[in-house]
């Protein structure tokens, strides 16, 4: 029987198996089987071993910088690009037994592969370097990042026309797809014909006819494509995506796997169930608010597949920092789909009061904590703050009975204890949450106590 005296009102004790985020965190659902790469593709461990071999020099320089250079010693160039100062490059060359040119090339490779991250004008070790020896997925992601940047690893000669270089870079995915389809050596002459066709298609797609009378168009000068193809094949060879010998190009196992990954991402992006691929993170999250867990995760994957992962993480965190608590919880659900690449930014969020509880839960799950017990990483104050934030999401977007049931997820055993600690956490939505809870609760005495607490918070009383 419910007591009419507020100080004796009891909350039902919550089993430790329940999580404070019960209203915001969807129940784990069965995932669809991951698509299989083409037959003959080596297992991930073998691919990662090949990637480690190809990036060994870059890892060596990155680790040298990590162990040798201390923050603020002035040996890094302050040019906003994270390049090495001359003195640093010479020191690294002497310590590692390399030439300065080799050190600079390996450093650039380390940046492109995410082994080194540049923040402003400061370079620091990336998360991939920290897990390089134990995380095959991180290694493969790093190699794919380098694969995507092949034209930066092997810059085009100045003798090649920049516009033609841009067209060839845009045409390369089709060349690689053809090489994978052939599943063996492909004659360079055949690739040259395919390149010419693709460049012609790109020029036709960009052709615009302005309105009104115009002078006779001047036909563009044909740029010889053979030097451009030679540069392309050399660049893809430099990153280990293919081999080029005797006039034939052949995808390496890593290159074939990377092409498959890119095609799979395109397929995922094309299967967006709710059509939110082209919208902002905030609009995408709002569109996912009413979706079932499986459908929401599919939408997150499609949205992420259509974007650079770093920009996507930044955009999700901007949405999480907004005033809508529902978007905050959904943003971290999307970040769970991102996984390891989001770890550095999420870890920095642990210092922000408005994101700390969400970030700590995310990091605990990422580091392997049992989902049933992950809430134990939060202090009592952090759990209470999260309860208020989740209640704000329910109050804004849910129904009154759901807000009343949200009481069951509080860590406090009694209403007075909950109200006392809710007042102490200084959440910006505390008053609105308490007012909404008082309006929704069927017990008049309890509702009165909650309204009194809301008034005290509003006026600054005890």
User: If you ran DSSP here, which 8-state letter would residue 10 be given?
Assistant: B
pLDDT 10s digits, 381-402: 888 888 888 888 888 787 767 7
Distance CA 190, CA 412 (A): 71
Tokens of 198: 């693709």
State yes or no: pLDDT of 242 exceeds 50. Answer: yes
Residue reference for tokens 């039902």: 12
3-class DSSP assignment, residue 248: strand
| Number of alpha helices (DSSP H) and beta strands (DSSP E) in the chain | 22, 5
pLDDT 10s digits, 227-238: 888 888 888 898
Could you list the beta-strand ranges (E) of 231-369. 242-245, 248-251
Name every residue whose Cβ is closer than 8 Å to that of residue 425 and which is 6 or more positions away in sequence: 381, 384, 385, 388
Report the mean per-residue pLDDT for the chain: 76
CA-based angle 145:148:152, to the nearest 5? 100
Sign of CA dihedral 144, 148, 149, 155: positive
CA torsion, ordered 392, 394, 399, 403, to nearest 10 deg: -80
> In the beta sheet, which residues pair with residue 123?
118
Tokens of 164: 């033609």
CB atoms within 10 A of CB 86: 11
Closest-CA residue to 427 (of 459, 378, 385, 461): 385
Note whether 289 and 330 are within 8 A (CB).
yes
Quick one: average pLDDT of 428-447? 76
pLDDT at 243 (0 to 100): 87
Residue reference for tokens 């049992």: 370
pLDDT 10s digits, 40-73: 778 888 888 988 988 999 999 988 888 877 554 4
Q: How confident is the model at residue 275 (pLDDT cuts 50, 70, 90)?
A: low
3-class DSSP assignment, residue 443: coil
Q: How confident is the model at residue 75 (pLDDT cuts 50, 70, 90)?
A: very low
Phi/psi at 119 (5° precision): -125, 105
Distance CA 249, CA 278 (A): 36
State yes or no: pLDDT of 76 exceeds 70. Answer: no
Least confident of 208-222, 316-330, 411-425, 435-449: 208-222
State yes or no: pLDDT of 173 exceeds 60. Answer: yes
Note whether 80 and 120 are within 8 A (CB).
yes
Quick one: average pLDDT of 158-164? 80
Distance CA 98, CA 88 (A): 13
Consecutive H or E run containing 117: strand 116-119
């Amino acid at each position: 029987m419910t007591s009419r005296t507020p100080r004796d009102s009891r909350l039902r004790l919550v089993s430790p198996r329940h999580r404070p985020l019960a209203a915001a965190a969807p129940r784990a659902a069965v995932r669809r089987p991951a698509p299989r790469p083409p037959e003959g593709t080596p297992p991930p461990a073998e691919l990662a071993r090949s990637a480690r071999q190809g990036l060994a020099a870059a890892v060596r320089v990155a680790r040298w910088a990590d162990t040798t250079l201390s923050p603020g010693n002035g040996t890094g160039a302050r040019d906003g690009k994270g390049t090495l100062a001359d003195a640093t490059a010479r020191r690294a060359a002497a310590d590692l037994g390399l030439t300065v040119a080799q050190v600079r090339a390996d450093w650039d490779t380390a940046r492109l592969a995410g082994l080194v991250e540049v923040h402003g004008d400061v370079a620091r070790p990336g998360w991939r370097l920290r897990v390089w020896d134990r995380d095959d997925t991180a290694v493969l992601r790093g190699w794919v990042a380098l694969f995507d940047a092949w034209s930066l690893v092997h810059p085009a000669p100045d003798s090649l026309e920049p516009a033609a270089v841009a067209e060839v870079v845009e045409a390369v995915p089709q060349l690689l797809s053809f090489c994978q389809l052939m599943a063996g050596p492909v004659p360079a002459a055949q690739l040259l014909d395919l390149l010419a066709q693709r460049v012609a298609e790109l020029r036709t797609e960009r052709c615009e006819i302005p309105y009104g009378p115009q002078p006779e168009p001047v036909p563009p000068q044909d740029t010889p494509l053979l030097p451009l193809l030679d540069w392309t094949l050399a660049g893809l060879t430099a990153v280990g995506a293919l081999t080029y010998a005797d006039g034939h190009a052949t995808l390496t196992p890593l290159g074939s796997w990377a092409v498959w990954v890119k095609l799979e991402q395109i397929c995922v992006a094309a299967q967006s169930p709710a059509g939110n691929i082209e919208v902002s993170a905030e609009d995408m999250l709002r569109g996912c608010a009413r979706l079932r867990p499986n459908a929401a995760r599919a939408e997150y994957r499609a949205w992420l597949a259509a974007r650079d992962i770093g920009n996507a993480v930044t955009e999700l965190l901007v949405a999480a920092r907004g005033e809508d608590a529902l978007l905050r919880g959904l943003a971290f659900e999307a970040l769970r789909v991102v996984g390891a690449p989001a770890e550095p930014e999420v870890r920095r969020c642990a210092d922000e009061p408005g994101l700390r509880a969400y970030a700590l839960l995310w990091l605990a799950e990422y580091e392997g904590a049992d989902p049933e017990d992950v809430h134990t990483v939060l202090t009592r104050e952090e759990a209470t703050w999260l309860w208020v934030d989740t209640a704000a999401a329910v109050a804004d977007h849910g129904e009154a009975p759901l807000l009343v049931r949200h009481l069951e997820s509080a860590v406090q055993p009694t209403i007075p204890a909950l109200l006392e600690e809710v007042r102490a956490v200084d959440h910006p939505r505390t008053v609105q949450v308490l007012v909404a809870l008082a309006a929704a609760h069927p017990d008049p005495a309890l509702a009165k106590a909650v309204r009194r607490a809301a008034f005290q918070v509003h006026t600054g009383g005890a």
